[in-house]
Amino acid sequence: MHLSPAYPTTFNTWDQEPPLSSLPLADQLSIVRLAKDTKILWILPKAIYRCAQYDAARITEITGPADAAPILTATAKLIPEHWLLIQALAAPLSGELGCTSSSACALARVRPFISRATENKADPLALVPESSWSLLSEEVCDQCLVDAKNVFRSWRLKIWEDLPGMFDLPSWIDLQKAKEADLEF
């Protein structure tokens, strides 16, 4: 089993099809435990992120409260990120000088993201499907579409950058170095 693609340490590889994502939750939790015990920390951002998508009660039932706590903390930190995006999109955007309908656009820009935020999903790094951007393009002016995509991209990149810190792990640079050492690139 090649672990590297399943546990990316760079932003560009984060969205690669994760070969292990269909594992049962119990196995995913075991991977987190094992990575901590063996100090293979570069596995943890993606491993914890995946576990954070599950129901808190199920996680606690499987691992017990001590092992569940860091994952539930991760969930609690990831969920509110959606609201920061909404806040950023609701504010006047940088290119708004070229916006042809500022109040209608501001409302429409946030609409596709409201459901992501209210579902309490801990998956702010989920990509927005092209179909959602197409729908948005029918409701906002051209300038706002460009701006909204840029705001989304920088917000998402920042979450990715902050992820190791949110999970009390070393920086991506250090994780990447450890990964290279472990895999003997």
Instruction: By CB under 5 A, name the one of 6, 41, 144, 175 that touches Zn ion.
Output: 144
Residue type, 184: E
Question: Are 109 and 89 spatial neighbours (Cβ–Cβ below 8 Å)?
Answer: yes
Min separation Cβ 75 and Zn ion, Å: 34
Min separation Cβ 156 and Zn ion, Å: 21
Q: Is 99 in the site for Zn ion (CB under 5 A)?
A: yes
In the bound state with Zn ion, the residue whose beta carbon lies nearer, of 122 and 144, is 144
In the bound state with Zn ion, the residue whose beta carbon lies nearer, of 66 and 97, is 97
Question: Are 92 and 66 spatial neighbours (Cβ–Cβ below 8 Å)?
Answer: no
Q: How many residues does the chain have?
A: 185
Residue 10 DSSP SS3: coil
Question: Are 26 and 33 spatial neighbours (Cβ–Cβ below 8 Å)?
Answer: no
In the bound state with Zn ion, the residue whose beta carbon lies nearer, of 6 and 145, is 145
Tokens representing 119? 């579902």
63 vs 77: CA distance, rounded Å: 20
H-type helices in the chain, by residue range?
25-37, 44-51, 56-63, 65-78, 81-90, 102-118, 130-139, 142-166, 172-183
In the bound state with Zn ion, the residue whose beta carbon lies nearer, of 81 and 147, is 147
Site string for Zn ion, 75-94 (x = CB under 5 A): --------------------
Site string for Zn ion, 102-121 (x = CB under 5 A): ---x----------------
Q: Is 151 in the site for Zn ion (CB under 5 A)?
A: no
Tokens representing 51? 């576990």
Min separation Cβ 131 and Zn ion, Å: 20
Task: List, in order, residues 6 or more apart from 14 with CB less than 8 Å away.
Answer: 8, 46, 125, 160
Min separation Cβ 154 and Zn ion, Å: 18
Min separation Cβ 123 and Zn ion, Å: 28
Interface residues with Zn ion (CB under 5 A) are 99, 105, 141, 144
